[in-house]
Amino acid sequence: MRSDKMKKGIERAPHRSLMKAMGYTDEEIMRPIIGVANAFNEIIPGHIHLRQIVDAVKAGIRMAGGTPVEFGGIGVCDGIAMNHLGMRYSLASRELIADSVEVMAQAHPFDGLVVVPSCDKITPGMMMAMLRLNIPAILISGGPMLTGNWNGKKVNLISVFEGIGQVRSGKMTEEELCSLEDEACPTCGSCAGMFTANSMNCLSEALGLSLPGNGTIPAVSAKRYRLAKKTGMKIMELVEKQIKPRDIATDAAFKNAIAVDMALGCSTNTVLHVPAIAHEAKVALPLDVFNEMSMKTPHLCNMIPGGPHSLYDLDLAGGIQAILNELDKLGIIDGDVITASGKTAKENFSSCQVRDREVIRPVEDPYHKEGGIAILYGNLAPEGCVVKQSAVAPEMLKHQGPARVFESEDDAYKAILEGMIKPGDVVVIRYEGPKGGPGMPEMLSPTSAIVGMGLDRQVALLTDGRFSGGTKGAAIGHISPEAAEGGPIALVREGDTISIDIPERKLELMVDEAELQKRRAEWKEPEPRIKEGYLARYARMVSSGAKGAIVE
């Protein structure tokens, strides 16, 4: 056993003595030792209940003859960090999370690993660690929050963000917003909707690194606790059979996951996280794979924020396994890949039928013929950029308009709320990429303000930063190269015409090359916004958003 390095033989008597200081018996020490990474904290609603989930995982490990050893991790709540300095730390925290799990599992050679995250950067960070370590490992998330009910309508966190713009435009009173605030987030769990956290938890299931049901069973359901116990038991089987994450997360498995991503209309942040996870798995996953799978995969689910359906609706309709079964009819799913259940993907999904054809449409009658995400290219984004096309109003799929240029998210947000953005405008927010931000902050506040002001069918927003999974509308992010690297977005000037053609996958700045060369010669690299601490180091080391913003 891997843990023998710290417990077996006369030379390890001091090590065993330290373990006995914590109450471990000889019998427990001699069993397979399973690390349990608990992302619990008291600042993230998706994590507030993880102690109970972890207790269930540990019970499962003990039932199957193992010894669980729990350790903690950090986490940022994107909603609470939004629209201030804290958001610059969110994406950057992903690397720290991966590193910290690696440190714990290498310093203390566990025989297996169960990771228990729930929210935006914690789930991909822990998945990165699983693939990097490549010891038997499995993931169980805390599960999604239920939607709220306000005045007879389904509501969620994004409803509150959009409410700010509605108050500013006179469509809602401050008292109504306060009432909405009280009802929008009614339970623990990752925020209700196909936002980044739920997207990544669903994709962990589609990729095969978690058990069926992980992506969709509500946080407050007893089924979630039963799944946690099963996960604890399953890690013992993975240890016995030595099934490792890289055996599961193959090139074919990643394509399965991207197909599910497209069918669901997941967060654009998946285009950052999935390549970063693939990088740790030693699988090449260029951005073009997302377009390739998008062209093949119909959009089957109209999920919040683009549509009406919640994660609970999706769970009742059959969940991720039913989607895989439906997509298998098109021949785009590799059913032979092994999964953390110990079974092949097809063995998992073959008996899972769709139970609600409005929530999961048949492949012959999808919501859209193409998948939820598109990668655009052009002289404004030579290395690519990302849009959730399933959440774009039909009239904004093709658009030309004058650039309204802002050097930061704060300046743009203020201009939107003060009524300075007019129908037809293309808002450009730059110097918010991985290096320039630093940390590639999400733009949920400005995009929600555009929706709240009633402009989402008339105004586009472009950025080298990124968007929340809760963003809807013609919001195009991850523009690469970013402004801080001298990318073309740094050369845009107020009033320039920008052309967006999502069906043709094009994003163009309608300025001739000679003028762009002149502007490029005049461009000067800006002073870094943050010059010390972790973010300064991160900015020096992080790669382009087109490469998943990985730190090499």
Which residues are known catalytic residues?
A: 468
Q: Which of 110, 119, 100 is nearest to 138 (CA)?
A: 110
Helices and strands in the chain, H and E counts: 22, 14
Q: Checking phi first, is residue 440 left (phi over 0); if not, alpha (psi -120 to 50) or beta?
A: left
Contacts of 482 (CB under 8 A, 6+ apart): 430, 431, 433, 434, 435, 436, 464, 489, 544, 545
Token duo for residue 216: 């969709």
Q: Using only the alpha carbons of the chain, give its radius of gyration.
A: 23
Cβ-in-10-Å burial (0-12, 13-18, 19+) of 317 comes to: buried
Neighbours of 23 (CB within 10 A): 7
Neighbours of 355 (CB within 10 A): 13
Cβ-in-10-Å burial (0-12, 13-18, 19+) of 286 comes to: middle
Q: Which of 218, 212, 213, 210 is nearest to 193 (CA)?
A: 218
Q: List, in sequence order, every residue forming a beta bridge with 300; answer none if it has no partner.
A: none
Q: Which residues of 462-494 are buried (b: 16+ CB within 10 A; e: fewer)?
A: bbbbbbbbbbbbbbbbbbbbbbbbebbbbbbee
